[in-house]
Amino acid sequence: MIEALEAIVADPAGAVVGLDFDGTLAPIVPDPEAARIHPAGPGALARLGGLVGSLVVVTGRPAATAVEYGSLAAVPGLVVLGHYGLERWEGGELSSPPPHPGLTAVRAELPALVAGIAGVRIEDKGRAVAVHTRRTAAPQAALDALAGPVAALAAETGLAVEPGKFVLELRPPGTDKGLALSGFLRERSARSVLFAGDDLGDLAAFEAVRTCGLPGVTVFSGSAELSVAADVVVDGPAGVVELLDAISDAIIARRS
């Protein structure tokens, strides 16, 4: 891990720094639409983005939403891979394939499926639909009760289920953060990589870092809700911002 961080600092032009959004750059909040990046996040990203080869946000959110909620449009050179890599935002331009046809049936059937549990919230992401149980009286019990029915609905409609912290997301199969990150590393001819995340959906990206054959660092944005093995554990989005600033400081110090 120390060697990988040293590789990033010694050769920043070859480094790819990847980050999740919710729970990593933005604190987790009960209402996903109220999520916003840590106040110091845009500045830390802009500073680091001017020093490393590539800066990429890999998120389950729509790319445009992450750009808006993260004030990311002003970060030079930043790429946002939304919907686990299905969408790409770069230089103000958004590209994406057509939505999966199974989402129409999910939108029609899901409200009745969750109606018996008070406090469940359905979030329509356009290319995915998420079921949140954080606002229920017993979030984990609600999640467990819905796991089977949601999985059955996903199977009927040709979608995959991505579990997270009090959330089940139905999305197109064959996409995950690991595949998105791996493709980006190849595209940028990366020579080192760091990825920071906080949830189960980030495990595929962590595995991509570990198996890509490059000096790599995995960073877990810690919380009381989940424990994940990683090279570095920081205290939520504030800790992520501090780490990004520390890497920028080290790169600048190396140059002087």
From the list 112, 169, 168, the residue with the least C-alpha distance to 139 is 168
Contact 216, 209 (CB under 8 A): yes
Catalytic residue among 11, 20, 176, 199: 20
Contact 175, 86 (CB under 8 A): yes
Contact 80, 66 (CB under 8 A): yes
Pairing of strands 167-171, 216-221: unpaired
Active site residue 198: no
Task: Note the helical H segments in 53-197.
Answer: 63-70, 102-114, 139-157, 177-187
Task: Note the helical H segments in 71-116.
Answer: 102-114
Residues near 131 by beta carbon (within 8 Å), at least 6 away in sequence: 110, 114, 120, 121, 122, 123, 146, 150, 167, 168, 169, 170
Pairing of strands 87-90, 79-82: antiparallel
Residue count of the chain, please give it.
256
Residues near 88 by beta carbon (within 8 Å), at least 6 away in sequence: 63, 79, 80, 81, 82, 94, 95, 96
Spatial separation of the C-alpha atoms in residues 13 and 11, rounded to whole Å: 6
Give the residue numbers annotated as catalytic, written as ranges: 20
